[in-house]
Amino acid sequence: EYSCEADNAVGSITASGNLVVHSPPSFIIRPKNQIAELGSEALFECQASGHPHPTLFWSLEGNRTLLFPGTRSGNIEVTENADGTSVLSVSNIDRVDNGR
């Protein structure tokens, strides 16, 4: 809080203002490439910081659908951990999931 004060022989006044600093998102955790067997599960993690706090979402190559925490699309589900890490899980992996 920044304050400006004025005074003279008959009194004083004060006025204050706050400074809020915004910053762009930056990655704390980036998704890593995964190797998985058919029928298994793969987990991708992502975490970002910034002010205001950034919204994390996922997308799949060749698909315009955005996946936010709490959503599911087929064998893909997105959740968010208590620490703010977004987790995309691909369950029951099939050949069509390759390269996404």
5 is a domain residue: no
Q: Compute the average pLDDT of residues 68-77.
A: 94
Bridge partners, residue 16, by sequence: 3
74 is a domain residue: yes
Listed in sequence order, the residues at least 6 apart from 24 whose beta carbon sits closer than 8 Å to its beta carbon are 50
Segment (H or E) for 27: strand 23-29
* Domain containing residue 50: 23-97
Q: In 3-state terms, what secondary structure has residue 58?
A: strand
46 is a domain residue: yes
- CATH number of the domain residue 68 falls in: 2.60.40.10
15 is a domain residue: no
Q: pLDDT at position 33, please?
A: 94
Q: Tokens at residue 46, please?
A: 């992502």
Q: pLDDT at position 63, please?
A: 80
8 is a domain residue: no
Instruction: Provide the domain count of the chain.
Output: 1
9 is a domain residue: no
45 is a domain residue: yes
- pTM to 2 decimal places: 0.80
**pLDDT tens for each residue of 22-72:** 999 999 999 999 999 999 999 999 999 999 999 999 998 878 889 999 999
